[in-house]
């Protein structure tokens, strides 16, 4: 039975691959195979209990999350996620092939093999990492205790005075403090923790039931936090922001004056060797995009204000560091502001996922960045649309709640967020795909472009692809399904040495490209760097 479900997911991935290949004008240069096997099922069924880095009682909490996440890989999905991930990552590999060809690589008998189960695991990467550093275990545990509280809208929805449900999304302490102050809660923000959740739910229920839903939503955004009234798909599509999201393409490309960029001639690390990416992203979705670029050899330099171990959301950020270097810059300091402007002059691509106007106060709006370097490919991931609500903050679970995914995955009476954080990873992978297309097009014709997508646009894609695969659509012969287990997928995790927290085991990537197959070579990360890598 499990294999039948995986076969259905693989066939759905073929349909989605065709749809997106047409959307992005991607030619299939080498064969793409979607793999399923009993062996992979057995391997992953063991993975939820082994290599668990959390201590004490939290160890069992993580094991429970892992078990739930892994078991869902073998079951049908009400909202398709696994096939979407498999298709998008296969297309990333295909565009990497095109880029390799344009830079002088040849392909003889090569293929792209995408394991369906490992594709699904990409949505729960957050749960599946492993590490041994004791100091980091403490940091990550503290981060988990802060985030997993009664204000976390991923888990808790509250009924309002007008009988609607609302969810709060405040993953930074500063945002949570603003919301607590706005609602005049009689408890300090930092006292809402995992261990006080039961009493906090009761308290918040009593507060929220006295407030009207849309009024509360506006108050949350206006104070600098974020919250949303849960909507079904139809209601969202008929709203002002929903119509704006529908009017956006999956990825919007805004072109500037054409100029072919100089990436050098080396292919030492893969097809993106020599391509410098300045990573101005945080938490999960944005870093997921630049991680894909790093896997194919890009030189990714991530900007952080403090050292890795000092990050407030270290629990959520570990996966996003894979394959990158990190530099510490405090843009309030003149010296560091000069440094980032120097890096902007030297970079080819900026990936950006902070609130749209977050860097304006430093003279680093998108327009000002283009004044510093007019030849940058600017890859931007936001929550909502690029017109309505363009500057509002938002998070993946909020995007699920507002677009109707939570209701589709559960019901109006009991909305349920998707397991893991697929609406972080999937839009991140889509941004990576759009960025790879922009690189390809620059090599072809000198195209310089902005690349823009959003979490809510990714949510609508999940709606649309679920609809598509429910229809009687026949996939093309560009892809195939094989019952096959590759040695490449025999390990659940890839262990790498880092200069930040020692050895880390990351979930194995879903896609094995026979030409670009030395994964460990590009997955190291280090902290406290000064520049892009010296080669």
Domain limits, the chain: 2-142+244-522, 158-229
Q: Quick count: other Cβ atoms within 10 Å of Cβ 525? A: 26
Query: Are 338 and 330 in contact, with CB atoms under 8 Å apart?
Result: no
Q: Quick count: other Cβ atoms within 10 Å of Cβ 311? A: 21
Q: DSSP string covering 153-205, please?
A: TTT--EE-TTS-EEEE---SHHHHHHHHHHTT-SS-GGG--GGGHHHHHHHHH
Q: How big is the chain by its Cα radius of gyration, in Å?
A: 22
- Check residue 127 and give its pLDDT: 85
- Check residue 221 and give its pLDDT: 96
| DSSP helix/strand/coil, 31 | coil
Distance CA 176, CA 79 (A): 30
Q: Euclidean distance between the first and final Cα of the chain, in Å?
A: 51
Give the mean pLDDT per block of 10 residues along the chain (535 residues): 88 98 96 92 76 82 86 92 98 98 96 96 90 86 84 94 96 93 95 92 97 97 96 98 98 95 94 98 95 97 87 80 93 97 98 94 95 97 96 95 97 92 96 98 96 98 97 94 88 85 90 91 90 86
- β-strand pairing of 32-36 with 112-115: parallel
Query: Are 517 and 110 in contact, with CB atoms under 8 Å apart?
Result: no
* Domain covering 2-142+244-522, topology: Rossmann fold (3.40.50)
Query: From residue 427, how far is each of 76, 248, 410, 411, 455 by CA, in Å?
Result: 21, 14, 21, 24, 6
Distance CA 391, CA 383 (A): 9
pTM (predicted TM-score): 0.96
* pLDDT 10s digits, 350-409: 999 999 989 999 999 999 999 999 999 999 999 999 999 999 999 999 999 999 999 999
- Check residue 520 and give its pLDDT: 83
- Check residue 423 and give its pLDDT: 96
Query: Are 19 and 430 in contact, with CB atoms under 8 Å apart?
Result: no
Distance CA 273, CA 516 (A): 12
- Check residue 1 and give its pLDDT: 47
Distance CA 449, CA 429 (A): 18
């Amino acid at each position: 039975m499990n294999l039948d479900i995986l076969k259905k997911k693989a066939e759905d991935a073929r349909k989605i691959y065709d749809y997106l290949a047409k959307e992005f004008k991607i030619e299939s240069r080498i064969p793409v195979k979607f793999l399923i096997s009993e062996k992979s099922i057995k391997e992953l069924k063991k993975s939820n209990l082994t290599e668990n880095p959390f201590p004490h009682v939290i160890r069992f909490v993580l094991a429970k999350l892992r078990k739930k996440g892994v078991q869902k890989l073998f079951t049908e999905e009400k909202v398709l996620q696994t096939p979407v991930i498999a298709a998008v990552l296969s297309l990333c590999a295909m565009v990497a092939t095109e880029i390799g060809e344009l830079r002088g690589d040849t392909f003889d008998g090569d293929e792209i093999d995408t394991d369906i189960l490992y594709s699904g695991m990409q949505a729960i990467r957050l749960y599946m990492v492993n590490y041994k550093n004791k100091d980091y275990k403490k940091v990550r545990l503290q981060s988990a205790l802060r985030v997993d509280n009664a204000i976390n809208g991923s888990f808790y929805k509250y009924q309002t005075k007008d009988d609607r449900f609302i969810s709060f999304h405040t993953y930074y302490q500063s945002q949570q403090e603003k919301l607590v102050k706005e609602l005049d809660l009689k408890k300090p923000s930092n006292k809402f923790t995992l261990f006080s959740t039961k009493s906090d739910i009761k308290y918040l229920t009593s507060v929220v039931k006295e407030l009207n839903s849309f009024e509360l939503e506006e108050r949350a955004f206006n104070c600098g936090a974020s919250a949303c009234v849960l909507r079904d798909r139809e209601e969202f599509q008929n709203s002002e922001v929903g119509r704006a999201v529908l009017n956006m393409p999956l990825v919007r490309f805004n072109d500037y004056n054409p100029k072919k960029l100089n990436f050098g001639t080396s292919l030492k690390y893969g097809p993106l060797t020599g391509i410098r990416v300045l990573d101005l992203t945080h938490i999960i979705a944005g870093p997921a995009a630049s991680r894909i670029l790093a896997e194919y050899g890009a030189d990714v330099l991530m900007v952080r204000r403090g050292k890795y171990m000092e990050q407030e959301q270290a629990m959520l950020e570990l996966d996003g560091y894979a394959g990158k270097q990190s530099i510490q810059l405090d843009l309030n300091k003149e010296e560091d502001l000069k440094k980032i402007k120097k890096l902007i002059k030297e970079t080819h691509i900026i990936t950006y996922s902070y609130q749209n106007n977050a860097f304006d106060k430093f003279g680093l709006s998108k327009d000002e960045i283009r004044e510093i370097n007019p030849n940058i490919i600017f890859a931007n991931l936001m929550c909502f649309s690029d017109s309505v609500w363009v500057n509002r903050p938002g998070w993946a679970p909020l995007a699920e709640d507002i677009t109707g995914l939570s209701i589709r995955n559960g019901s109006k009476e009991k909305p349920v967020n998707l397991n893991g954080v697929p609406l972080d990873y999937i839009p991140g992978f889509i941004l990576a795909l759009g960025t790879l297309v922009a690189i390809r097009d620059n090599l072809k014709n000198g195209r310089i472009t902005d690349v823009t997508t959003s979490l809510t646009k990714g949510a609508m894609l999940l709606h649309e692809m679920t609809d598509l695969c429910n229809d009687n659509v026949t996939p093309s012969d560009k892809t195939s399904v094989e019952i096959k287990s590759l040695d490449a997928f025999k390990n659940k995790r890839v262990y790498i040495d880092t200069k930040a927290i020692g050895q880390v085991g990351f979930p194995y990537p879903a896609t094995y490209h026979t030409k670009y197959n030395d994964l460990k070579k590009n997955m190291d990360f280090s902290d406290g760097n000064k520049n892009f890598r010296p080669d």
